[in-house]
Amino acid sequence: FDTEKFLADLNKHTFEDLIKLEGISRPLAKRIVEQRTLLTKFSKLEEVRQIPGITRKTFEALAGASPETLNKLLNAPHDQELSLPDVVRLTTTLPGVAGCLLTAADGLLLAASLPQGLDESRLSAFAPPLFKKIGDYTAELGVGTVQRFTLFTDRQPVSIFQAGAIYLVVVHDAQHFSKALLRRLTRISEELARLCRHRAVV
Q: Are residues 103 and 158 in the same domain?
A: yes
Contact 185, 161 (CB under 8 A): yes
Tell me: do 33 and 105 sit in the same domain: no
Q: Are residues 93 and 181 located together in one domain of the fold? A: yes
The answer to whether residue 171 is domain-embedded is yes
Domain count, the chain: 2
- In the prediction, which pLDDT does 12 show? 81
List, in order, residues 6 or more apart from 25 with CB less than 8 Å away: 19, 53
* Residue 114 and residue 51 share a domain: no
Give CA separation, 24 vs 29, 65, 163, 170, 193, in Å: 6, 17, 21, 34, 18
Low-confidence ranges of the chain (pLDDT < 50): 1-8
Determine the structural domain holding residue 129 and report its residue range. 76-195
C-beta separation of 113 from 99 below 8 A:
yes
pLDDT at residue 164, rounded to an integer: 84
27 and 114 within one domain: no
> What is the structure's pLDDT at 7?
40
Burial bucket for residue 13 (CB in 10 Å: 0-12, 13-18, 19+): buried
β-bridge mates for residue 172, sequence order: 97
Same domain, yes or no: 51 and 83: no
Of 33, 13, 24, the residue nearest 58 (C-alpha): 24
Residues 122 and 163 in one domain: yes
Instruction: Supply the pLDDT for residue 103.
Output: 94
Domain with residue 118: its CATH number is 3.30.450.30
Residue 29: what are its φ and ψ, rounded to 5°?
-60, -40
Output the pLDDT for position 189.
94
> Based on the domain organization, do 50 and 103 belong to the same domain?
no
Residues 172 and 101 in one domain: yes
| 98-130 burial: b if 16+ Cβ within 10 Å, else e | bbbbbbeeebebebbbbeeebebeebbbebbeb
pLDDT of residue 119: 96
Residue 98 belongs to a domain: yes
Domain presence at residue 71: no
| Residue 89 and residue 134 share a domain | yes
The predicted-structure confidence for 105-141, as pLDDT tens digits, reads as follows: 999 999 999 999 999 999 999 999 999 999 999 999 9
- Is there a single domain that holds both residue 60 and residue 83? no
> Rounded distance, CA 107 to CA 121, Å?
8
102 and 35 in a common domain = no
